[in-house]
């Protein structure tokens, strides 16, 4: 494993993007940072800018107005990049399927590497999703 890959998988920097979510998944993502669940022990940090991020954590059912922004943020991330879709809405639109403004799934806009199920998923599940992604990337 090269030095850069080693550094990347030992310390993945996350960016969290809310693509029209109701906030339930988002507060559980933030909870993952707090002492009880503590994602920092995996070296993961939450950053505010896509240009420093390796992993994008996406929540939400992607309303139309939000879709181009999601794509733009994804495009701004440097390669290699990974996307984790958190929650039923990000996977398939969740309870908002058959709503006129909803794109029904993040993978309709950008490629997704890992799906974490739940409405919202518990912080333990989100941690599990991120760790599994890192394992599959060679951690």
Stretch that binds other proteins, among 6-14, 57-65, 78-86, 127-135 (CB under 8 A): 57-65
| CA–CA separation, 58 and 21 (whole Å) | 9
Q: Which of residues 80-119 bind other proteins (CB under 8 A)?
A: 94-96, 98-104, 108, 119
List CB contacts of 63: < 8 A, sequence separation 6 or more.
19, 20, 101, 102, 103
Out of 5, 11, 64, 75, the residue judged to bind other proteins by CB under 8 A: 64
Q: x/- binding map, residues 6-45, to other proteins, per CB under 8 A?
A: ----------xxxxxxxxxxxxxxxx--xxx---------
- For CA atoms 1, 126, 94, 60, give the dihedral sign: negative
Judged by CB, which is closer to other proteins: 53, or 130? 53
Q: And the tokens for 124?
A: 């333990």
């Amino acid at each position: 494993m090269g030095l850069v890959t080693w550094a990347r998988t030992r310390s993945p920097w996350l960016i969290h993007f809310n693509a029209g979510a109701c906030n339930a998944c988002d507060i559980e993502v933030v909870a993952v940072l707090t002492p009880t669940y503590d994602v920092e022990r995996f070296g993961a940090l939450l950053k505010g800018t896509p240009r420093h991020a390796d992993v994008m954590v996406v929540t939400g059912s992607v309303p139309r107005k939000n879709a181009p922004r999601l794509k733009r943020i994804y495009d701004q991330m440097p390669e290699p990049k990974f996307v984790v879709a958190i929650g039923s809405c990000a996977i398939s639109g969740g309870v908002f399927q058959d709503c006129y403004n909803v794109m029904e799934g993040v993978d309709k806009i950008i490629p997704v590497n890992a799906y974490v199920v739940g409405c919202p998923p518990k912080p333990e599940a989100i941690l599990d999703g991120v760790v599994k992604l890192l394992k599959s990337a060679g951690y």
